[in-house]
Structure formats: C-alpha cells, structure tokens
Structure 1
C-alpha cells in the first residue's frame, strides 16, 4: 500500500485530497492543528468522515512545530507529500501577520527539512493565484514574472515557492507547486465569499460586495481541483529528461521543480456568481456595494494549458452547476 502524507488534512481542500487518496487505495497520514481560525466543528466533521477509513491516520499538530514533520517522515516514509496546511485569508493577514510567518513560512521550512532528511518521490505543495499580485496581463501563465504581491498572505505563498525551489535545487527534491484559483464547493470555508453570500442571502441579510461589484474571479470547483492534484502525483518533475518537453513549461532549468496553475480557465464577474447563488437559493441578494479592500486584486484568470499538457485534464465544472451543489450541501449541513 502506497503512503501519502497530507498536511492540513481536516481543512477544506485537504479533506477532499485525503478522501480521494483513500478511495484510490492509499494509506494516508493526515496532520492538522485544528486551529480556530474558523469553525472547528466544520473541521471535526470532515475529520470524522476521514476516520471511517481504516487506512487513515490522524496526527494533531502544527506543521511549524520543530522536528514534528521529520519524525513523521521517518516513521511513515511517505512516497508522496501533499502540503496544504497554511494560514489562509487575505484580510486576516492584516490583523494577525505573525501567524502567516509561523505557519506558511515556518511550516514550509519544517516540511522541506523533513524531506531533506527523508526524501519522498514527489512533493506537491500549495501556492495561490494571489502570487501573481499586481499583474494585469491575463490569463495568468506560470512563467510570468510575479514580484509584486498585494498582501502578506500572497507574499508568504510566493516566498514558499522560492524556498521550495532552493531546496529542490540543493537536494534534488522533486517538487510541484500548484497555484489555486478561488476554490469553492461543499465543505468550503466559512470565511470565503460563497459561504458568506449563501448564508446571508438565505437569512435575508445584505451581502458586502467589494469594488462596487467590479470583480472577476476564476472560480474552481473543489472536485476539479482535487482531480488535478491526484493526476499531478504522477507528473514528477525531472529536469534531466523533461526540459523543453512541454510548450510554456515552468520547469526550472536547475531543479526538478515546476509551478502549475489549477483553475477553470475562465474569469467570471462576481455579480454573475452572486446571480448563480440567487438562482440556487431562490432568493434575491441585497447587495451592499463597497470599495476595494486592501490586499485584494480586481481579477484572476488561469491559463491551464500546462496542467492539460501534464495530465490531459482541465477543470470543467460551470459556476451554475458548482454553486447549485454548494447551496444544496449548505442547506443539508446547516439543516435549512
């Protein structure tokens, strides 16, 4: 039985990745701190579902705890690592910046040190579309210069990419960094717009819509994202044999390291996304139009050509279908 280590396994994306690996016959070691950044009961519900699998092992702990990941690597010898643990949220980084340094940078460094001592066959590590920062040329391509991040959260994710590249180069660690684009779906985080909009619309309360509604996002449905991650497990970077193999490849010339966008290859107006929630709930939104918030960007849009070249897959769930499934889950989970 193959073994995978998934960090942030009780989180939104971590839960779905761990569940998919378990369904495929993997042994999964999950680690999560169960932080109270958002409702711990939601995380516990995800964990409870994972623990119904006999080949799932849960470790409660912080990835930034010195030596913990090295102990887990030594004990379980994972062939694959999917690193999803992070302090998320753009706006929260204005309130609690230290948590971003501790988890996003400190945790990544602990992970890489563990891999240095006990190298896995492939490490897949989460970054973010926010790494593109102030870029206005779209769709975003992995080889674009990305030096002007707009929030501390984004800066820690781009810094993690740079740190991971250096370890990949120095210690020949195969690493794929994936940049997520506005992931949503059932079991999603309560601090994200889909969750907040749905709860307020169902309760008849106004929703805050930033930049006066003039926002666009590349919304990516959770099952599409997870399918891409699982397929990328076998797309192990190898700079000795793959250089120049794919058009537009982001493979490093000096390391087995690659950055891959995972997005829906579309940019959807936020007002259209809200309209999809209105259609799914059967209720009209009362919108409170507000100015752009610090650290935010007006638009995101992924070029997923490299993902398709590597895996043959591109995300395909429409906003209409994805939102309908999210609202259905929301009603069921919160008994509305």
Structure 2
C-alpha cells in the first residue's frame, strides 16, 4: 500500500483526489488548515466522508506551522506528496493579498523543505491557468512563456513553479506542476461561479455577469481533473542523466527532474453558454446583471493537453452539460439533506 501525503484534503480538489486515491488502494494522510475563506462546515463534511475509510488520517494545521507539517510528513513516510492547499480565489487576492503570501509562498516553502528532508518518489504541486495571465496565443501550451500574471494569486502560483524547480534541481526531487483550468463539480467552492449561479437561480435571484458575458473558459470537471493527477503520479520526471526518447513539446526542464502539465478539457465555452446550460439544468431562467470586466480577470482560457495525453494516454472529456447537471443534482440533494438535518435538530 503506497502512502500519499495530500495537503488541502478538506478542499474541493483535495477531497476528490483523496477519495480517488483511497478507492485505488492508497493510504492517504491529509493536511488542512480549515481556513474560513468559505464555509468551514462544508470542509468538515468533506473530511467526515474521507474519514469513513480506515486508510485516511488527517492533520488540522496551517502550512505555515512548520513543526506540525514536518512531523506529519516524517511520520507518514509518503512515497507521494501532492500539494493542493493554497489560498484560492483570483478576486479575493485584491482584498486580502497577505493571505496569499502566507499560504502560497511561506506555506509552499515549508512543504518544499519537508520534501527535501523526507524525499518522496514524486512531488506533485498545483498551479493554475492564471499563470498564463496576459498571454493571448491559445490554446495555452506548457512551453509558452508565462511572465505576465495579472493578479497576486497568479504571481504566487508562478513563484511556486519556480521555487519547485530550484528544489528539483538542487535536491533531485522529481516534481510535476499541474496547471488547473476552471475546475467545477459536486462539492465545489461556494465562491465559484457555478455554485453562486445555481444558488441564485434556485432562489430566484439575479446573477452578476462580468464583461457582459464576453468571456470564455476551459471548464474542467473535477473528476476528470483528479483522474489526470492520479495518472501523473505514476509519471515522475526522470533525472537529467536518465533521459531517453523525448516527447514533442515536453516542458521537462533541461537541468532538473521538473515538468509542468496542463489539465483541462481542451474546449472553450463562453460564459453565456455556461449560464444557458445552468438554466437548462435547473429548469428556470436566471435574471442577469451585465457588468464590466473585473480587475485582474482574463477574457479567455483554453488548454492544450497534448502533453498530458502523451504522458498518460488520458484526455478529460466530460461535457459542460453533463458536468453542470451533476453539480445541480448534488447541490439539490446536499442542501435538501442539510435543511432536513437542521429541521430535525431545531
């Protein structure tokens, strides 16, 4: 039984990844700070589900708490470390930038130090499509320059990529950075567009549509995303001296066992098409407040996933229609059950 040490297991992506790894026979050691950026009860519910599996254990502490983090990694002796914990949210970085420095820079530095002291067979770390920033040449490829980040959130994630590269070079730690593209699905974050739009639509309230809906995203269903991460676990970047046949357009570093991989659906969907699918799934139109573009936003994202496919043979393929319907089904069931539980305890 392999052990995976996963940070952020009470978070949206971390929860889904931990559940998949447990299903596939891993022992999973989780680490989460339970920050109050959004509903902590939702995070505790995720951990409660994971805790039903006897091969899951969890530590509750911030990444900035180096002593607790190091002790947890040392005791776990993981073959795999997957670093997903971070201060998320593009817009929130405009309101509370220090949270991103503390969690995404200091916290990630601590995690890298743990990987140096207790080297795993493979270190995998989350990045984001936001690092492409002002780039307009799409679909985005990992070998493109990505030096025009538009928010502090994106800047901290690009810094994480550089920090991880230096550790991979210095300490020979096989490291894969994966860039997410607008992840959505059941158990999603309440601050994300799909969650807010579905909630508003079911409550008969209007939604804010930025840039008058003239935006497009590469929406990626969460189970597709974590399947990609799971397959990448078994594809650690080789050491420089061990390399053989090269892969076309590989982002593999010339001086370190370090690689960047996009995980997206490889399809652009406009924001208006996305909202149309939500309306179809909930069975009612949603009033729309059309607004100007928000500061730090980008008009479009679109992933080239050729490298992911070359490494794993896998391409995410869940349609936005199917993914949105799965989320709406989960939302209705989850909050119906929560309301019933509240009524019983009242």
Please classify the TM superposition score into its range, dividing by the shorter chain length: over 0.9
Cα distance change of structure 1 residues 147 and 244 upon mapping to structure 2, 3 Å threshold: farther
What's the CA shift string for 1:121-145, capped at 9, x where partnerless? 0011000000000000000000000
Distance, in Å, in 2 between the alignment partners of 1:161 and 1:123 is 12
Correspondence for 2:105: 105
> How far is the alpha carbon of 1:71 from its aligned partner?
1.4
Correspondence for 1:129: 129
Correspondence for 1:179: 179
Distance, in Å, in 1 between the alignment partners of 2:244 and 2:319 is 34
Distance, in Å, in 2 between the alignment partners of 1:187 and 1:241 is 41
Correspondence for 1:160: 160
State whether structure 2 residue 332 is matched by structure 1 residue 331.
yes
2:177 partner SS: strand
Let me know the Cα RMSD of the aligned residues. Answer: 1.0
> How far is the alpha carbon of 1:244 from its aligned partner?
5.6
Distance, in Å, in 2 between the alignment partners of 1:255 and 1:107 is 22
Correspondence for 1:23: 23
Distance, in Å, in 2 between the alignment partners of 1:228 and 1:32 is 22
For 1:1-336, what aligned pairs fall within 5 Å after superposition? 1-238=1-238, 239-242=240-243, 245-335=246-336
**After alignment, is 65-74 or 108-117 more displaced?**
65-74
The runs of 5 or more residues in structure 2 that have no matched partner are: 340-346
TM-score (norm 2): 0.96
> How far is the alpha carbon of 1:287 from its aligned partner?
0.6
Distance, in Å, in 1 between the alignment partners of 2:2 and 2:114 is 19
> How far is the alpha carbon of 1:60 from its aligned partner?
0.3
What's the CA shift string for 1:213-241, capped at 9, x where partnerless? 00100000011001000000000101333
The runs of 5 or more residues in structure 1 that have no matched partner are: none
Aligned length: 336
What's the CA shift string for 1:9-66, capped at 9, x where partnerless? 0000000111111111111100101111001111111011000010111100011212
What's the CA shift string for 1:63-110, capped at 9, x where partnerless? 121232221221111000110000000111111111100000111100
Distance, in Å, in 2 between the alignment partners of 1:242 and 1:319 is 38
TM-score (norm 1): 0.99
1:211 partner SS: helix
What's the CA shift string for 1:258-299, capped at 9, x where partnerless? 000000001110100100000000010111001010111000
1:69 partner SS: helix
Contact map agreement 1:67 1:110 (CA 8 A) in 2: no
Distance, in Å, in 1 between the alignment partners of 2:30 and 2:328 is 28
Distance, in Å, in 2 between the alignment partners of 1:163 and 1:244 is 27
Distance, in Å, in 1 between the alignment partners of 2:320 and 2:28 is 31
> How far is the alpha carbon of 1:245 from its aligned partner?
1.6
1:331 partner SS: helix
Distance, in Å, in 1 between the alignment partners of 2:294 and 2:143 is 28
Contact map agreement 1:184 1:219 (CA 8 A) in 2: yes
> How far is the alpha carbon of 1:243 from its aligned partner?
6.2
Distance, in Å, in 1 between the alignment partners of 2:294 and 2:90 is 10
Distance, in Å, in 1 between the alignment partners of 2:72 and 2:9 is 14
Distance, in Å, in 2 between the alignment partners of 1:242 and 1:261 is 22
